[in-house]
Amino acid sequence: MTTVILAEKPSQARAYVAAFQKSQKKSGYYEVSDPVLPNDTLVTHALGHLVELVPPEKYDAKYRNWALANLPIFPTTYQFEVIADKQKQFQVVKTLLNWADTIIVAGDNGREGENIAWSIMKQAQIDVEHKTMQRLWINSLEKEAIIAGFRNLKDGWQFYPNYQEAQTRQISDWLVGMNASPLYTLLLRQHGLSGVYAIGRVQTPTLYMVYQRDQLIKNFKPEPYLELNAEILANQQKFEAKLDPYQRFKDEKGLTIFMQAKSVQRGPQTALIKDVQNIVKKTPSPRLFSLSSLQSAVNQRFHASASETLAAVQALYEAKWLTYPRTDSEYLTQQEFDYLAANLDQYQELLPEKMALPQTTPQKRYVNDQKVTEHPAIIMTKVVPNSTQLAKLPVLQRQVYDLVLKTTLAMFAGPYEYTETTIITQVGQALFKSVGKVPINPGWRRLFKTKSVEQGKDTLPVVTPGQTVQAVLTTPTKQTTPPKPFTEGTLITAMKTAGKTLDADEAAVLKAVEGIGTEATRANVLETLKRRHYLVTNKNELHVSGTGVTLCQAVALEPLLTSPSMTAKWELALKEIGKKKRTPENFLGQIKLLIQKLLKEVPEQFAQNADLQTQLVAQQQVEQKQQAQAAVGVCPICKTGEISDRGKFYGCSNYKNGCKFTLPKQWSGKKLPISAIKQLIKTGETAQLKGFKSKKTGKTFSAKLKLEAGKLKFDFDKCK
């Protein structure tokens, strides 16, 4: 009886093998033995996704060239294929799974882990109905967790609906991309624009959120306003006070009327302390981290991208120092809390100085078994690195571990306590409020500061009700400010809340966060938008590029493509598949209706919407100007077109009229300098160039390049 453990990737397989007593490495798999395992157990692995959906032209060759007449593309059955460079490992896995009597799915917990494993089994045509299917479910790669997981394997069929959910998401994204992208691209080309415009079920509403923010900033017109403030002098101490209730004045006239009604004037005058309140307050420590909240916090502190943060926390997970990263929970179960409490002394060794951690009773703000559906929050494991090990890590990994460490320990440190003093001062008939804070106990805040909390920073003087004081009223002129641009951190939060204006703490307590994307996919969505040059980053701020603006203008009239709340409803519908409350066929049927609606309405929008046509004409002019500026010479073939940068190559502007002349940016392992490209176009040959690399020997060599009948070739005859 053969048991095969299917891991998601090589590093995961190695972690399992290291936990067992004996192992022997083979080609693409391991033979293992351990008291926790049956006899004849093998460990193999995927390489992430080994299987993907085939492109449209595999269904019908006519789809190779885009045409509106060929839409919609609705395959009767969806075909998958093994990724070309992963064929070898697929064959290993296929052979072992066919041998197996028992298959243990041991990829990452969650939808994508199921999708990777079951997609392989489907493609390999494994007779799963006649095999025992089991599931390893762990949240840490430390040895103790692995062994415990294999002692408590779950029924593999229990998680099959998660695979159906993940594959339905995969197919729905394919349907939207393969239909909406050609639709918009072809219509934009009809209006004189070039390039390919990619539409995505999640990426397009994400891009549109940034576009809307950019437009708000661009069109923002600052408006002046006046404030009425007071500087109070009491007991030879000065402090500031704001009008209570606070209000702004649009102009001098409104301010003057108010001041007259309240019997006050600019400058010094006598005032009276109306009320004094001293209240002791407590602020709890920050919530524990989900992946999204960690990505947001790391971006804010260290300006790392969402994908960089995910890579860092994934590496720390594989090092067995942090728990599973792709979690949407900010809670722990009692089990995790107990082992953290038992290991506090070890964790404290990593702090600059030890501190009291008295809060050893679990609090519902952090510990709630009912809130942890799949994975707990990201916390430390029982495997604690020493300072030397941490010092060897890349900077971002150190920063991430330190942040998770301190945020987790903060729940044991007790609240930050302070006295809040509120003074109400009456000037004439107007009231002014001052608020000061005096720390009593720094609590968890000590973890995040190198020095003790400053004393007296926001203190107010001791005053009593009825005390006469002096006030100086001022009326500064200020201006309204535009909203702040998105960063990757704030955009990740906006994706999680589907555009609702919530801070991270508020988002955490929503009963059902109707977000777009998932914890596992949001970073990839942002990377895709950047890779396609729709989003650009400037000093940690995200903005939409010119191409992205064109796309957003084109989709602006289709809320099904741009609305975060609508996309969030699709996400909730997908989750219902995993809960067996909805079928994949039902969901994909709705996606098809969406596509049919787009095919009917979008061409009409392009033809009838005057504002859109005006925007497209303006963008066409911008594109033509950019192409002219990027031109490197007149086409040597058609003699009329301009050769310009086309992204991965240089091409002729007359390509629509049949001129197919192109020049590569790289040739035989060498990036061709722009000077060489210009010389080729002008004279048909270059000077001798260094740095070409032989495919046969791998050695570098020098040569000239020449154009012969429009084709690029080496010219060794003229080399010295």
pLDDT at 498: 81
Please write the tens of the pLDDT for every residue from 497-529: 886 654 444 444 344 446 888 888 899 999 999
Question: What tokens appear for 21 in the block?
Answer: 């007593």
Dump strand ranges (E) for 319-450.
Answer: 416-427, 430-441
* Cα separation, 71 vs 595, whole angstroms: 9
Confidence of residue 623 (pLDDT cuts 50, 70, 90): low
State the Cα torsion 306-309-315-317 to the nearest 10°.
Answer: -90
pLDDT of amino acid 393? 96
> In angstroms, rounded to a whole number, what is the distance separating the alpha carbons of residues 420 and 443?
16
Q: Could you tell me if 445 and 263 are in contact, meaning their C-beta atoms sit under 8 angstroms apart?
A: no
* pTM beyond 0.85: no
Indicate whether 627 pLDDT > 80: no
Q: Tell me the pLDDT tens digit for each residue of 319-363.
A: 999 999 999 899 999 999 999 999 999 999 999 888 889 999 999
Residue 172: count other Cβ atoms within 10 Å of its Cβ: 22
- Percent of the chain at pLDDT > 70 equals 94
Residue 540's φ and ψ, nearest 5 degrees, are 70, 5
Q: How confident is the model at residue 221 (pLDDT cuts 50, 70, 90)?
A: very high
Residue 131 CA, chain-centre distance (Å), reads 38
| Residue 407 pLDDT exceeds 50 | yes
Q: Across residues 700-714, what is the average pLDDT? A: 89
Tell me the three state secondary structure of residue 667: strand
> What gap in Å lies between CA 263 and CA 265, rounded to an integer?
7
- The predicted pLDDT at position 510 comes to 40
Return the DSSP state at 63.
Answer: G
| Contact (Cβ atoms closer than 8 angstroms) between residue 327 and residue 419 | no
The DSSP code for 658 is T
* Single-letter amino acid, residue 462: V
Do 288 and 379 form a contact (C-beta atoms < 8 A)? Answer: yes
What are the distances in angstroms from CA 125 to CA 95, 121, 159? 11, 6, 19
Which whole-number Å values give the CA distances from 395 to 302, 309, 383, 391, in the listed order?
Answer: 10, 11, 20, 9
Sign of the dihedral through C-alpha 516, 50, 321, 134: positive
Mind listing the pLDDT tens digit for each residue in 33-66? 999 999 999 999 999 999 999 999 999 999 999 9
Picking from 526, 475, 312, the residue whose alpha carbon sits closest to that of residue 403 is 312
Beta 430-441 vs 237-243: how paired, if at all? antiparallel
CB 685 within 8 A of CB 707: yes
Burial pattern 492-525, b for ≥16 Cβ within 10 A else e, equals: bbbbbbbbbebebeebbeeeebbbbbbbbbbbbb
**pLDDT at residue number 693:** 87
pLDDT for 499: 66
The residue among 416, 336, 331 whose CA lies nearest residue 380 is 336
CA atoms within 13 A on the CB side of 353: 9
Radius of gyration (C-alpha) of the chain in whole angstroms: 32
Which stretches of 413-506 are assigned E, i.e. beta strand?
Answer: 416-427, 430-441, 468-474, 477-479
How far apart are the C-alpha atoms of 82 and 123, rounded to whole Å?
A: 8
Q: Which two tokens stand for residue 61?
A: 């060759």
Which parts of 333-428 are beta strand (E)?
416-427
**Phi, psi (deg, nearest 5) at residue 38:** -70, 165
Which residues are within 8 A (CB) of 448 and not within 5 positions of it... i.e. 6 or more apart?
406, 410
At residue 156, does pLDDT exceed 90? yes
What is the spatial distance between Cα 99 and Cα 142, in angstroms, rounded to a whole number? 29
Mean pLDDT for all residues in the chain: 91
The one-letter amino acid code at 437 reads K
Question: Cβ distance 689 to 702 under 8 Å?
Answer: yes
Name the phi and psi angles at 534, rounded to 5: -90, -35
pLDDT at 300 over 90: yes
Separation CA 530–CA 17 (nearest Å):
38
